[in-house]
Amino acid sequence: MSVELTVPDIGNFTDVDVVDVLVKPGDVIEIDAPLVTLETDKASMDVPATTAGKVTEVLLKRGDKVSKGSVIARIESGAAAAATAAGAAPAASPVRAATPASNPAPAASSASPRASASPAASASPAASASATASQASASPQRADAGRAPAPAARADHMGDTVRMPAPRLREGEPAGDGEGRQVQLLVLGSGPGGYTAAFRAADLGMKVTLVERWGELGGVCLNVGCIPSKALLHAAKVIEDADEMTERGIVFGEPRLDLPRLRAWKSSVVGKLTGGLKVLARQRKVEVVRGVGRFVGANVLEVLGANGAERIRFEQCIIAAGSEPARLPGLPQDPRILDSTGALELPDVSGEMLIIGCGIIGLEMACVYDALGSRVSLVEVTPQLMPGCDPDLVRPLERRIRSRYRHVLLNTRVAGIEPQAGGLRVTFTGEKVPEPQLFARVLVAVGRVPNGRTIAAERAGIKVSERGYIPVDRQMRTNVPHIFAIGDIAAPPLLAHKAMHEGKVAAEVAAGHKSSADWRVIPSVAYTDPEIAWAGLTETEARDRGIAVKKGAFPWVANGRSLSLGREDGFTKLLFDPDTQRLLGAGIVGTNAGELISEVALAIETGSDAEDIGLTIHPHPTLSETVAGAAEAVAGTLTDLYLQRK
Please name the residues in contact with 165: beta carbons below 8 A apart, sequence gap of 6 or more: 32, 48, 94, 95, 130, 292, 294, 304
Cα separation, 85 vs 27, whole angstroms = 9
Q: Nearest-5° angle of CA 379, CA 382, CA 387?
A: 100
- Collect contacts of 96-99 with beta carbons under 8 A, ≥24 apart: 96/156, 96/304, 96/305, 96/306, 97/156, 97/213, 97/214, 97/215, 97/290, 97/291, 97/292, 97/304, 97/305, 97/306, 98/156, 98/157, 98/162, 98/163, 98/213, 98/214, 98/292, 99/214, 99/215, 99/216
SS3 sequence, 244-292? HHHHHCCCCCCCCCCHHHHHHHHHHHHHHHHHHHHHHHHHCCCEEEECE
Mapping DSSP to helix (H, G, I), strand (E, B) and coil, where does residue 220 land? Answer: helix
Cα separation, 136 vs 138, whole angstroms = 7
Element (H, E) at 355: strand 352-356
Report DSSP state, residue 178: S
Beta strand pairing call for 352-356 and 441-444 = parallel
Element (H, E) at 342: helix 340-344
What residue type is assigned to position 552 of the chain? G
| Bridge partners, residue 53, by sequence | 29
Cα separation, 9 vs 490, whole angstroms = 23
Is 620 a residue of the active site? yes
| Alpha helices, H only, 204-246 | 219-224, 226-244
Residues present in the chain in total: 646
Count of beta carbons in the 10 Å neighbourhood of residue 465: 15
Cα separation, 40 vs 50, whole angstroms = 22
Determine which one of 234, 482, 501, 620 is catalytic: 620
* Phi–psi pair at 36, nearest 5 degrees: -140, 160
Cα separation, 239 vs 113, whole angstroms = 8
CA distances from 82 to 75, 163, 168 (A): 12, 28, 20
Mapping DSSP to helix (H, G, I), strand (E, B) and coil, where does residue 81 land? Answer: helix
| Bridge partners, residue 473, by sequence | none
Please name the residues in contact with 40: beta carbons below 8 A apart, sequence gap of 6 or more: 10, 13, 16, 17, 123, 329
What residue type is assigned to position 642 of the chain? Y
Catalytic amino acids?
620
